[in-house]
Amino acid sequence: MAKVSSEEINQLHAEVCQALADPIRIAVLYQLSDGEKNVGELAEALGCNRVTVSRHLRVLRERAIVRTERRGVSIYYSLADQRIIAALDLLRQVLAQIMATHKTLAEALE
């Protein structure tokens, strides 16, 4: 088994973070946390067009964050690992703390 360098791990980490750095892709992941969906179902749930959703799914698929399963003419998407939702939830907790700190600082300055 080949040894993976810390630079390679950091690069992969950055690529996953880049994939998560879009509000639509985050919304897609939360939609998929409820179960697998096809592009049309995701587009309807998010209020986006199918082309936009497909483009975002491609990024998530390329980063191995979602997986696909073809059924007839439809492709269904699901989370490759449910822990991605736990990671997103943890980030939201961190953001809530940051926002609370900023609010406290703003109030102290008034």
Q: What pLDDT was estimated at residue 56?
A: 98
pTM for this entry: 0.86
- DSSP assignments along 24-41, one per residue: HHHHHHHHHTT--EEHHH
- For 76-98, write each residue's pLDDT tens digit: 999 999 999 999 999 999 999 99
* Cβ neighbours around 57 below 10 Å, total: 23
pLDDT in tens, 23-79: 999 999 999 999 999 999 999 999 999 999 999 999 999 999 999 999 999 999 999
- Residue 103's pLDDT band, with cuts at 50, 70 and 90, is confident
d(CA 98, CA 100): 5
The span from the CA of 31 to the CA of 12, in Å, is 24
Domains, the chain, ordered by start: 6-81 (1.10.10.10)
pLDDT of 1 above 80: no
Q: Is 24 exposed, middle or buried (0-12, 13-18, 19+ CB in 10 A)?
A: middle
Question: Please, which residues bridge with residue 67 across strands?
Answer: 78
